Chain A
Amino acid sequence: MEKWQFAPEMVDSGKTNEVIVAALKAKFGKGISTTKLAEWRATTMDRMATNEKSGRKKMRADKRKYIRKCLIAGLSSYATQQACAQEFGEGCGYDTIMAVQKEVAGDAEAEAAKAEEAIVTVEIPDEVREDEPVESTALAPTVPPPNGSLTDLKAVQAWMKKINAEELTLTDNGDLSMLVRHKFNLGEAE
């Protein structure tokens, strides 16, 4: 190992200047200036700080991703905090959860809006539609028969004309029912 590789390693390991100089003298027969050591030390500190910073940054991003996953899965904020603590060894702030929650809701809304924009429902004009047939049996059960009886055909015909009914459903004993169906033709009977 060269001197320029050996010295920075010793700086990194946290040795004092005296120890490093002594070690270099023992290994290579020559020491090193304290100015040079101070420079290396400064660089090392910077690098360590940067590493720590980027590590922290990465962890924060990972944590955010994990929170997002938890919230999409439908976990409550408390459960998310617990899950985060288990996964990363430390929990997460309520504000962070709220911020991520907002993002997730925004995403869902944006996705729905995108779909709405992509697919536009068309209203078909009424002129194209066929006229709805009148439900003939709808009125009969709700209207009481004339004089409580259905035996007088003329009276029944007049009553049906009055209530605008085309079809009547009744049983043999005169009660309204859906079991036996009799059709009355108003034109033919008259």
Chain B
Amino acid sequence: MSQQDLTRLRLKGVVTCSFARSEATNLGLYRTTTKFPGELNKGEAYLFISKGGNQVLFMFKTVVLEVDVQHRRGDGTNTRGVIDSRRLRLDGGTWHPYMLQNYANEVGIDLIGFKRFEQVHSRMMATKRAKS
């Protein structure tokens, strides 16, 4: 995926939670915590990481969809909130914070303010060389 195709997003919060629960439940729990950064706006995302560390999930702003008459709610409203997310299942091993931008790029996102692993690594190597 080229850099132009990526959607630029700002990461609003990173949390680990059990993926045995649904995304809606996890989001509800996140809302009750003291470190909840606030609701998502357009162009923002949360990152949920599984307890085992082998799954990362980018959650975006809840989309409101209109539903037809047959699927209206009891109160007569015809809109539904739909959680939009992208999940990566890592094949072996666990996630690493240095790889955040790489994971995001894989699901078509460019995280604002984050470096790719290659950049972090080269910077670390340069610092190491300068020290020695």
User: Number of B residues whose C-beta is below 8 Å from A?
Assistant: 26
B20 to chain A, nearest CB (A): 11
Report A-chain residues with C-beta under 8 Å of the C-beta of B59.
none
Stretch of B1-9, B32-40, B67-75, B82-90 at the chain-chain interface: B32-40
Report B-chain residues with C-beta under 8 Å of the C-beta of A116.
33-34
User: Number of A residues whose C-beta is below 8 Å from B?
Assistant: 16
Stretch of A22-30, A44-52, A126-134, A179-187 at the chain-chain interface: A126-134
* A121–B34 CA distance with the chains assembled, in angstroms: 10
Q: Mark B21-32, 1 if CB is under 8 A from A, else 0.
A: 100001001101
Q: Which residue of A lies closest to B47 (CB)?
A: A122
> In the complex the two chains form, is A127's CB within 8 Å of B120's CB?
yes
Query: With A115-B29, A116-B34 as given contacts, are A128 and B114 in contact (CB-CB < 8 Å)?
Result: yes
Query: With A128-B97, A128-B100 as given contacts, are A115 and B115 in contact (CB-CB < 8 Å)?
Result: no
* A135–B98 CA distance with the chains assembled, in angstroms: 26
> Considering residues A111, A112, A115, A125, which has the most beta carbons from chain B within 10 angstroms of its beta carbon?
A115
> In the complex the two chains form, is B26's CB within 8 Å of A127's CB?
no
> In the complex the two chains form, is A119's CB within 8 Å of B123's CB?
no
> In the complex the two chains form, is A122's CB within 8 Å of B32's CB?
no
* A122–B30 CA distance with the chains assembled, in angstroms: 12
> In the complex the two chains form, is A121's CB within 8 Å of B14's CB?
yes
> In the complex the two chains form, is B32's CB within 8 Å of A115's CB?
yes
Q: Does B125 contact A (CB under 8 A)?
A: no
Q: Does A118 contact B (CB under 8 A)?
A: yes
Query: With A115-B33, A116-B33, A127-B98 as given contacts, are A122 and B16 in contact (CB-CB < 8 Å)?
Result: yes
Q: Mark A79-121, 1 if CB is under 8 A from B, else 0.
A: 0000000000000000000000000000000011001101111
Report A-chain residues with C-beta under 8 Å of the C-beta of B100.
124, 128
B35 to chain A, nearest CB (A): 5
Our pick among B13, B17, B113 for the contact of A118 (Cβ within 8 Å) is B17
Report A-chain residues with C-beta under 8 Å of the C-beta of B13.
121
Q: Mark B93-119, 1 if CB is under 8 A from A, else 0.
A: 000011011000000000001110000
Report A-chain residues with C-beta under 8 Å of the C-beta of B18.
118
Report B-chain residues with C-beta under 8 Å of the C-beta of A128.
97-98, 100-101, 114-115, 120
Query: With A119-B17, A119-B30, A122-B14 as given contacts, are A129 and B35 in contact (CB-CB < 8 Å)?
Result: no
A134 to chain B, nearest CB (A): 15
B residues touching A (Cβ–Cβ < 8 Å)? Answer: 11, 13-18, 21, 26, 29-30, 32-35, 49, 97-98, 100-101, 113-115, 120, 123-124
* Interface contacts beyond A111-B32, A119-B30, A121-B35: sample of 5 additional A-B pairs, CB < 8 Å, sorted by A: A112-B34, A115-B30, A115-B33, A124-B97, A127-B98
A residues touching B (Cβ–Cβ < 8 Å)? Answer: 111-112, 115-116, 118-125, 127-130
